[in-house]
A and B are shown apart, each in its own frame.
Chain A
Amino acid sequence: MFTAPQATDHKSLSAPDWSAIRADFPLLSQLAHQQPLAYLDNAATTQKPNAVIDSITHFYRFDNANVHRGAYQLSERATLAFETARDKIQRFLHAPSREEVIFVRGATEAINLVAQSYARPRLKPGDEILISAMEHHSNIVPWQMVCLQTGALLKVVPINDSAEINIAEYQALLNKKTKVVALTHLSNALGSITPVDQMIAMAHAREIPVLVDGAQAAPHLSLDVKQLDCDFYTFSGHKIYAPTGIGVLYGKQSYLEAMEPYQGGGDMISRVSFEHSDYNCLPYKFEAGTPNIAGVIGLGAAIDYIQAIGIDHIKQRERLLLDYATAGVSLIKGLRIIGTARDKASILSFVMDSAHPHDISTILDQQGVAIRAGHHCAMPVMTRFDVPATARASFSFYNNESDIDQFLQGLHLVNNIFSGKNG
């Protein structure tokens, strides 16, 4: 069994044993419709390794107490486990300080927090928020809400037919009214990797802060918020092998210090009276109420786990799987890939002449293959490519060629069914 080694091991250069790694994910060993489960919906959520499941079980069996409160050993142990996870995430993101790592429910809440606590008090009518044409709804709707509240306007950077950002248009859209730029790091519907480093530098040249939505990127790309110089970075635990209901907002300390709290409650204050309350210091100012302690600990365990494999190994492995699947689908008659950016990762979105994405998904499901069909919470992307929906296979390092073969055979069956060769 592949167990998460200590921090010193994670720079190991030896190639990981991928079949042992797959065995770390107990859910993947089950059958689906009497066939091996080929789980290819990793962009929606990832499966959890034993290391993560065990960390949560261990917490509830032995360490459960509220954090930052009790002056007793158990609470100190819970607090230590909780805060140690924050340190792990700080290192994972290469954040300059641990105070810049805020625990939230997920990337969605992180973006809403920035929209309400950073943008809302600063926006005036006519100001502009700039996003890209391939954002997830969670990086569109919070900004639309703040636009309605303030009279600001939402502007959208177009993408080309390959699903790449039009940088010249982006440059043209950046202007003195632009107050926030919010960009996906990796498109969940298309797989395109956004050139965020270049786009951040361009925004910073005009002193515009940039939020990067890393919900899809975090499990697949190397993250370094210091090098990127982004002002905010968000991601969700459940897409990076951790539990649902936990996520992270990274923000530059200078921004976070200047922002009002998002929610009021316990833990986020240093002193309360009926006349006045003083807010707690960072990061607690943004962590009202008892946090998702087990979720945080699970997230820490997930990050230990992927760092033990090594993000470079993960990138290579997932590149290989994406290339293998892309080559395979190119032989399927009438199949068209939506999202053909030169720089892409882990996601294969497509439509077929013969069948609607939902029919594809139903047929694949019967072959034990789980993919997503629909608009992927990115309806404007569907409109941009003039499709009602797409089918999407998304890969993780724990997938293998056999999962993809099963997927490809399912696609052949789709064509057979819809051409009348019912097999």
Chain B
Amino acid sequence: MKVMNEELRALYQEVIIDHGRHPRNFKKLEHPSFCQEGYNPLCGDHLKLYVRIENNTIVDASFEGQGCAISMAACSLLTERIKNTSIVEARKLFDAFQILVSDANPPEKIRDYLGKLSVLGGVRDFPVRIKCATLAWHALKAGLDDINNKKVVSTE
């Protein structure tokens, strides 16, 4: 029987499998401040991120969509994490997440800051899968950059 090597074990951690199979906040949000679509046409990952903002704070977030375990888990974890954070904080998380998935050795403080989100760091060994992990984050950023933006964002 084949077993997982170290890279696969790092990629498919239990948290990711769990969030991929049972995504949290997986629903349409009523009266969102924005709904941003994210779509990677080559691989078919497709999500809609709903965010409600009050007084510069994200008070609720949810998503719908379909895609691989990585893209679904990344979006699920994102919605958990950004609730009750300020817009400024959410942008900081975006930047830290980019470092996590692209740096060969992300600094310890980045991993500490991201906490549970750092389980997605395993994608750095799988260059073609980084776009799966970052799709939700790019959707968040595009949404925050222009609340009325109706365009689709892609990480391909």
Contact = CB atoms under 8 A, between A and B. Distances in A.
Interface of A: 33, 355-359, 362-363, 366-367, 373-375, 382, 388-389, 409-410, 412-413, 416-418, 420, 422-423
Contacts of A373: 43
B2 A413 contact: yes
A388 B44 CA distance: 6
A241 to B, nearest CB: 26
A367 B12 contact: no
B69 A418 contact: yes
Interface in B19-61: 20-21, 42-46
A421 to B, nearest CB: 10
B43 A422 contact: no
B8 interface: yes
A358 B2 contact: no
B43 A374 contact: yes
Nearest to B14: A420
A362 B11 contact: yes
A-B pairs, 7 with minimum CB distance: A423-B3, A356-B68, A358-B68, A388-B44, A389-B44, A413-B2, A409-B2
A418 B68 contact: no
Contacts of B126: 362
A418 B2 CA distance: 14
Contacts of B20: 359
Contacts, number: 72
Contacts of B46: 388
B104 interface: no
A371 to B, nearest CB: 13
B2 A388 contact: no
B69 A356 contact: yes
A418 B12 CA distance: 9
Contact of B8 (A363, A388, A389): A363
Given A359-B69, A366-B8, A418-B21, A410 B2 contact: yes
B92 to A, nearest CB: 29
Given A373-B43, A418-B21, 13 more contacts: A357-B68, A358-B68, A359-B20, A362-B11, A362-B126, A362-B128, A363-B12, A366-B5, A366-B7, A374-B42, A413-B1, A416-B1, A420-B14
Nearest to B17: A418
A416 B2 CA distance: 10
Nearest to B12: A417
Given A374-B42, A374-B44, A423 B1 contact: yes
Contacts of B68: 355-359
Contacts of A410: 2
6 contacts: A356-B67, A362-B126, A362-B129, A388-B46, A409-B1, A417-B12
Contacts of B45: 358
A367 B11 contact: no
Contacts of A367: 2
Interface of B: 1-5, 7-9, 11-12, 14, 17, 20-21, 42-46, 66-70, 126, 128-129, 132
A420 B8 contact: no
B23 to A, nearest CB: 13
A33 B67 contact: no
Given A358-B129, A382-B44, A422 B9 contact: yes
Contact of B66 (A388, A409, A412, A413): A388
A141 to B, nearest CB: 14
Contacts of A423: 1-4
B8 A359 contact: no
A367 B44 CA distance: 24
A83 to B, nearest CB: 39
A370 to B, nearest CB: 12
Contacts of B66: 388
Given A356-B69, A388-B67, A418-B17, A412 B7 contact: no
Contacts of A363: 8, 12
A389 B43 contact: yes
Residue of B2, B3, B17 with most partner-chain A CB within 10 A: B2
A374 B21 CA distance: 19
Contacts of B5: 33, 366
Contact of A417 (B1, B17, B67, B129): B17
A423 B17 CA distance: 14
A288 B70 CA distance: 47
Residue of A33, A355, A366 with most partner-chain B CB within 10 A: A366
B43 A358 contact: yes
